């Protein structure tokens, strides 16, 4: 047994007398129900039963004795197993004691360091007038209208209204869209579209090939080659509304432009505060983990690696990408999650220990609030969500997550949070 791991190997023994009693009890049970040619049910001699069903009886004896013996040993040594014990090297001699080895992983034992009054630094984020004006102009852009242009060809800055049909090179599902506005000459527009549509007139048709860059934002198109057939149905110019009180009324619930600026600043400052709090919590966890050196169960790390990989897959699926169709080495990707997974497990173990030390519990009301929150997103009732999570064995995990979040909030409230000077950013 290595002290650098959470793996434990216990060499255990069950006395011969206890084994003999269990064997006799199991043999009597077999004799009561076993069917033996030449004997009525329950009338065959026990000695015959023990010979005829020797291996089955041994198996039943082991199943009845080993779990209790393991539990006694684990309790006596104050261990908390996190994996089901695996039984190895069973020695079951006739008339003698049963000897065997139990192998499992346990929660690590460690002493909590000084987790109170931790100090971390967060990045300074100044909300400037320029930031407010940028947000205001983004609202103005969203309120823009598009006016038709007559009597000329497409020029840079125009929005070409097009119907699109794209056939992927090598076959596959085509891309079709109607009424798309393509901003000619814009940075976000692929050069092939700008070059082929610039100078065209409404009603013209264009055909050209496009190869998307590997870092294209839409993963369904990244690195793909398409042949496009484009119909130009119209030309439009963007018309921005005036930056005045009328705009403020149109895009918000305030009456004047100055009120809108004040509201935007308040929203941005609140978002800045949330960002700094999230950063502080992340750095508190990192500091807490760095303060403590202890092994973590490999089974928990493996589970966390699976969780991280599943999050990647769910994110891709949410973007409409089939992970199975991607050229990704999933085994290597999973392996690269190991270091972060170890840190995640250490953080959870530390938060659990601090929760115990500080008596931080999750109340029924907090659980019900979370169930209501989940229900609001899923369209189910809170009762249905509770029943589903209970059936899936996920309700305890939800409670554990709530406790971890509550403990981390406690650490945040008791920490000293410094803001980095602007020059240190």
Sign, CA dihedral 348-272-317-214, equals negative
Q: Which helix (H) or strand (E) holds 381?
A: none
What pLDDT is recorded for position 327? Answer: 74
- For residue 35, the model assigns a pLDDT of 66
Question: Pairing between strand 416-419 and 119-122?
Answer: parallel
Lowest mean pLDDT among 193-207, 302-316, 347-361: 302-316
Share of the chain above pLDDT 70, in %: 94
Q: Could you tell me the end-to-end alpha-carbon distance of the chain, in angstroms, rounded to an integer?
A: 47
Fold of 145-239: Chitinase A; domain 3 (3.10.50)
pLDDT for the residue 5: 87
Q: What is the mean pLDDT of residues 279-294?
A: 94
Residue 233 in tokens: 């149905």
Residues near 331 by beta carbon (within 8 Å), at least 6 away in sequence: none
> Among residues 179, 17, 28, which one has the least CA distance to residue 95?
17
Tell me, what's the pLDDT at 37? 67
Domain boundaries, the chain: 7-105, 145-239, 268-424
**Mean pLDDT for the stretch of residues 359-364:** 94
Q: Over the stretch 257-276, which tens digit does the pLDDT of each residue have?
A: 999 999 999 999 999 999 99
Rounded Cα distance between 53 and 58, Å, is 9
Q: Return the pLDDT at 124.
A: 92
Domain 268-424 class, CATH top level = mainly alpha
Of 194-198, 218-222, 383-387, the one with minimum mean pLDDT is: 218-222
Ramachandran region, residue 76 (left: φ > 0; alpha: ψ -120 to 50; beta: rest) = alpha
Q: What is the mean pLDDT of the chain?
A: 89
pLDDT digits (tens, 9 = 90+) for 13-47: 999 999 999 988 888 877 776 666 666 666 666 67
Position 103 scores a pLDDT of 95
DSSP-derived secondary structure for 76-108: HTT--BSSPPEEEEEE--TTS-EEEEEEEEBPP
With 60 as the cut, is the pLDDT of residue 424 above it? no
Judged against a pLDDT cut of 50, whether residue 2 lies above it is answered with: no
CB 248 within 8 A of CB 189: no
Assign 73 a pLDDT band (cuts: 50, 70, 90). very high
Report residue 49's pLDDT band, with 50, 70 and 90 as the boundaries. low
243 neighbors 143 (Cβ within 8 angstroms): no
Pairing of strands 86-91, 205-211: unpaired
* pLDDT value at residue 422: 56
Tell whether the torsion through CA atoms of 80, 86, 88 and 92 is positive or negative: positive
Mean pLDDT of 354-367: 94
Cα gap 353→359, rounded to integer Å? 10
Average pLDDT over residues 104-124: 92
276 alpha-carbon distance from chain centroid: 22
Please check whether the domain covering 7-105 is classified as CATH 3.30.70.1050.
yes
> Do 115 and 288 touch, CB atoms closer than 8 A?
yes
Contacts of 31 (CB under 8 A, 6+ apart): 42, 44, 45, 46, 49
Whether the full predicted model's pTM is greater than 0.85, yes or no, is no
Pick from 113-117, 249-253, 393-397, 418-422: least confident: 418-422
Per-residue pLDDT averaged across 231-250, rounded? Answer: 94
Q: Are 147 and 237 in contact (CB under 8 A)?
A: yes
Q: List pLDDT tens digits, range 188-218.
A: 999 999 999 999 999 999 999 999 998 888 8
All residues at 6 or more sequence positions from 397 whose CB lies less than 8 Å from its CB, including other chains:
none
User: Does 7-105 match 268-424 in CATH topology?
Assistant: no
Per-residue DSSP letter, 8: E
Classify residue 98 as exposed, middle or buried by CB count within 10 Å of its CB (0-12, 13-18, 19+). Answer: buried
pLDDT above 60 (res 1): no
- Tell me if 58 sits within 8 A of 1, measured CB to CB: no
């Amino acid at each position: 047994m290595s002290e650098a791991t959470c793996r434990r190997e216990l060499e255990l023994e069950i006395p011969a007398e206890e084994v003999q009693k269990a064997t006799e009890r199991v043999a009597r049970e077999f004799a009561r129900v076993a069917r033996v040619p030449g004997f009525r049910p329950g009338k065959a001699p026990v000695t015959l039963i023990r010979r005829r069903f020797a291996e089955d009886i041994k198996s039943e004896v082991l199943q009845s004795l080993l779990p209790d013996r393991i539990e006694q040993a684990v309790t006596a040594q104050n261990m908390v197993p996190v994996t089901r014990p695996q039984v190895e090297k069973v020695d079951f001699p006739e008339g003698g004691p049963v000897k065997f080895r139990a192998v499992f992983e346990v929660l690590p034992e460690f002493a909590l360091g000084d987790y109170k009054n931790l100090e971390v630094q967060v990045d300074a984020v100044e909300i400037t007038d320029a930031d407010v004006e940028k947000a205001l102009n983004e609202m103005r852009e969203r309120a823009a209208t598009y006016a038709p242009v007559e009597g000329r060809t497409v020029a840079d800055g125009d929005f070409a209204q097009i119907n699109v049909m794209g056939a992927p090179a090598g076959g596959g599902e085509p891309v079709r869209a109607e009424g798309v506005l393509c901003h000619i000459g814009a940075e976000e527009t692929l050069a092939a579209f700008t070059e082929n549509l610039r100078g065209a007139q409404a009603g013209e048709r264009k055909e050209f090939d496009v190869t998307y860059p590997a870092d294209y934002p839409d993963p369904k198109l990244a690195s793909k080659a398409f042949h496009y057939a484009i119909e130009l149905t119209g030309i439009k110019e963007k018309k921005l509304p005036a930056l005045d009180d009328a705009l403020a009324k149109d895009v918000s619930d305030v009456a004047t432009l100055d009120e809108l600026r004040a509201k935007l600043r308040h929203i941005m400052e609140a978002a800045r505060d949330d960002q700094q709090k999230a950063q502080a919590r992340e750095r508190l966890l990192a500091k807490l983990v760095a303060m403590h050196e202890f092994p973590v169960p490999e089974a928990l790390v493996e589970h966390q690696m699976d969780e991280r990989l599943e999050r990647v897959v769910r994110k891709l699926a949410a973007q409409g990408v089939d992970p199975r169709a991607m050229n990704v080495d999933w085994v290597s990707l999973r392996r690269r999650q190991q270091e972060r997974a170890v840190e995640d497990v250490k953080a959870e173990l530390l938060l659990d220990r601090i929760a115990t030390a500080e008596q931080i519990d999750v109340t029924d009301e907090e659980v019900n609030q979370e169930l209501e929150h989940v229900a609001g997103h899923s369209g189910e009732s809170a009762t249905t969500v509770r029943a589903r999570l209970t059936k899936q064995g996920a309700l305890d995990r939800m409670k554990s997550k709530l406790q971890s979040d509550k403990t981390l909030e406690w650490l945040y409230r008791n920490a000293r949070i410094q803001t980095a000077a602007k020059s240190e950013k």
